[in-house]
A = this chain, B = another copy of it.
Amino acid sequence: MNKPVHAPQNQFPVAGGELQIGGMPLSRLAERVGATPFYAYDRALVKARMAQLRAALPAGLKLHYSIKANPMPAMVQLMAGLADGLDVASGGELSTALDTGFDPADISFAGPGKSMAEIRRAIAAGVCINAESAAEVERIAHQAKELGLAPRVVLRVNPDFELKASGMRMGGGAKPFGIDAERVPEVVAQLRRHGIEPLGLHIFAGSQSLKAEAVVEAHASGFALALRLAEDCAFLPRMLNLGAGFGIPYFPGEAALDLAPVAAGLAAWLPRVRERLGDVRVSLESGRYLVGEAGVYVARVLERKESRGQVFLVTDGGLHHHLAASGNFGQVIRKNYPVAIGNRMDAQARESVTVVGPLCTPLDMLAERMELPQADSGDLVVVFQSGAYGLSASPTAFLGHPAPAEVLV
């Protein structure tokens, strides 16, 4: 049996032995940024991914960007021009979304622990609030009354199914997210007692799935649940957000999600849904899938060091900037992200190396015993698949090193 390998990382062209990011050789980009380490996101790749998704999926389906995947303001601004909706998960993200000038009616705010201040801001801004519980509905109604404004309320449902074969299961069973499906009718009644008609449903079963059949099944279950709830509550949802669940391949042996069956599944359901619910706005929400593969994390080798037969590349970057690549975020067994020496893409001589950072902890590792071109101080280590849940999901203050730069090129 062959050893599992990483999915090919050919989204960035190579020229003159260098990876080209945003159309610029990596070493020149590093000079443009002015310091390592840095994150770089390729604008053209983000646009291409969105275009590819629109081409693959049925027409009329709305595509939302989930800001939490990458909240860099320039990225959110870019996505504001590409996506049909922006989804936020905190007051901070709400500010970033509003600052783009995006229509508040197409911004939605989900999250199980919204503060009173966040709820108040969301109502004042006119964005949709994805209510997560009966208690939150009371808080929304109370704040809306105080403000004298009609709130836009979508019900987030904890479904009675889960996204199988996914990195993150967020629905099914007992969960802190959303209103248990079986309790939605009473919450709809509760809203109506406050004179508020719910705008729609948010049904999100999980994320980071690479198995098309699991995604298709989750979407089908979501549609079926939405129709059942509409029936049970005598309620006509105007909006239906199904999440998406689309994953990207990070680790050896993983392969890209096949969109064709997913598109076919959606195409089969959409007419049935429209027949029953009329002109409902059906959306998928994605973060990682839209931006994850467009980004790299770049660190410079400070020293090539041998210790007892093993080669270490000690870099100026590490877990404090990219926790997920170090294996400390959501992984059980540490696996390597795809990594390259970005200025030696044509090199023939390869060796097994371990790439570490400057921190005094054995957790600070970006690649463990990986076959890479021979590298030395000054070379640029590239961690692929770093456009989502990279910088913002990392403990940048750990050990007091400077934060990395971020560029959208």
Contact = CB atoms under 8 A, between A and B. Distances in A.
A173 B354 CA distance: 14
A313 to B, nearest CB: 9
A269 interface: no
25 contacts: A71-B400, A88-B400, A90-B358, A90-B400, A92-B401, A92-B402, A93-B399, A111-B358, A111-B360, A112-B358, A113-B356, A113-B359, A114-B302, A115-B358, A135-B305, A136-B303, A158-B307, A174-B307, A174-B310, A176-B312, A328-B330, A329-B363, A332-B332, A392-B395, A396-B396
Contacts of A90: 358, 399-401
Interface of A: 67-68, 71, 88-93, 95-96, 110-115, 133, 135-136, 158, 168-170, 173-177, 180, 302-303, 305, 307-310, 312, 314-316, 318, 323, 328-330, 332-333, 354, 356-363, 377, 391-402
A114 B401 CA distance: 10
A92 B400 CA distance: 5
A305 B68 contact: no
Interface residues of A: mostly helix, strand, loop or mixed?
loop
A310 B302 CA distance: 50
A358 B391 CA distance: 19
A104 to B, nearest CB: 17
B330 A399 contact: no
Given A133-B303, A174-B308, A176-B312, A68 B362 contact: no
A158 B91 CA distance: 47
A361 B329 CA distance: 12
A278 to B, nearest CB: 29
B168 A314 contact: no
